[in-house]
Amino acid sequence: MTSLPKPRGPLSDLVTSALRAVPGEPVDRIDVEPESADDAAVTLWMLHELLYGGFDEVDDRAEWEPELIRVRRRLEDDLEAQLRERWPGPPDGADLEADFFDWVADHDGPSLARHVQTHATEEQVLDLLRVRSVYHLKEADPTTWAIPRLPVAAKAALVELQYDEYGVGDPARLHAHLFARGMEASGLRPEHGAYVDESPAEILEQNNALSMFGLQRRLRAAAVGHLAAFEATSSVPSRRLAQGLERLGFPDEIIGYYREHVEADAVHEQVALRDICVSLVQEEPHLEPDVWFGAWACLDLEDRTARRMLAGWGVPA
């Protein structure tokens, strides 16, 4: 089970106290502004977590507490506004199906996978596994929220992709579980949320954007656009990560997790683009800009995480 993270400012402090008091005490109006990106990110992460596994010390009824939903909405609006402000808009004249992969490839961001492949120390890789666990231990879950919001063909294709993410009916092959086994074998804690306190705001924002895209029907096209970009930047980097882990003598379980993603995501990137995103846009053409927006957000947020991690290790980005 998951424990509440440590507050990172006045808003997360207030929300943590409110969460602990539900349902005994009504939640008073919370108008405190987040003090920092960290304060905002950890608060939104907590409020989203209520919709996944919840927390040991929080009553499950907190999930639908109106004042907490109001705070969540305010923080999601801020996060979306920041992303839309940075977003350059859909690429001029690009055809989604024909040009998407080249557009992703042309995006030139710092690569954590390259660093792990050739230079990273064991300690740096352990750092990376700890912060990546915030997502990998609930891998695929945020996108599952989008399933009921899609038209027929895109829905069928997303379920087909998620079925593979969830292990094709075999719990031992479920991707989040493979990662948990890899964590354990590497001497790390496999419980969901175990390393939230040491995860920088950039990691939590990555997680929060993904949850927000999944949870808001209005943003369903961003959810699947994010998925397509995520899968399209996974296969080759996963091979690099596996090679780096082999170089450093990491256990087979964690290497196996990344090896699985080399082949799985070479399939998923094709399905996500052609059968999910293109199919959705055929049915609902007004959603195409949001497919590009979600894809761009995936690349942008990963750049910020990569820069943050590399800077922390004193490695030039």
Partner 1 sequence: MTRPDVFLCPGGPMLLRGDQVVVDDDGVEHRTTRPVSAVCRCGKSASKPWCDGTHKLLPAKLRP
Using only C-alpha atoms, what is the Rg of the chain? 19
Binding mask 94-113 for partner 1 (x = CB under 8 A): ----x--x---x--------
Q: Examine residue 237 and say whether the peptide bond preceding it is cis (omega within 30 degrees of 0).
A: no
Structure tokens at 252: 């087979």
Residue 48, burial from CB neighbour count under 10 angstroms (0-12, 13-18, 19+): buried
Decide: is 269 part of the binding site for partner 1 (CB under 8 A): yes
Decide: is 263 part of the binding site for partner 1 (CB under 8 A): yes
Q: Are 213 and 294 in contact (CB under 8 A)?
A: yes
Q: Which stretch binds partner 1 (CB under 8 A): 123-131, 211-219, 249-257, 259-267?
A: 259-267
Binding mask 208-247 for partner 1 (x = CB under 8 A): ---------------------------xx--x--------
Decide: is 153 part of the binding site for partner 1 (CB under 8 A): yes
- Considering beta carbons, is residue 204 or 227 the nearer one to partner 1? 227
CB-based contacts of 76, cutoff 8 Å, min separation 6: 44, 208, 212, 216
Q: Are 56 and 3 in contact (CB under 8 A)?
A: yes
Look-up of token digits 């761009």: 296
Q: Which of 18, 219, 264, 281 lies at the binding interface for partner 1 (CB under 8 A)?
A: 264
Decide: is 282 part of the binding site for partner 1 (CB under 8 A): no
Q: Which of 194, 267, 315, 317 lies at the binding interface for partner 1 (CB under 8 A)?
A: 267
CB-based contacts of 253, cutoff 8 Å, min separation 6: 178, 181, 182, 184, 185, 186
Shortest gap between Cβ of 139 and partner 1 (angstroms)? Answer: 16
Decide: is 36 part of the binding site for partner 1 (CB under 8 A): no
Residues that bind partner 1 (CB under 8 A): 98, 101, 105, 152-153, 156, 160-161, 163-164, 168, 235-236, 239, 262-267, 269-271, 274-275
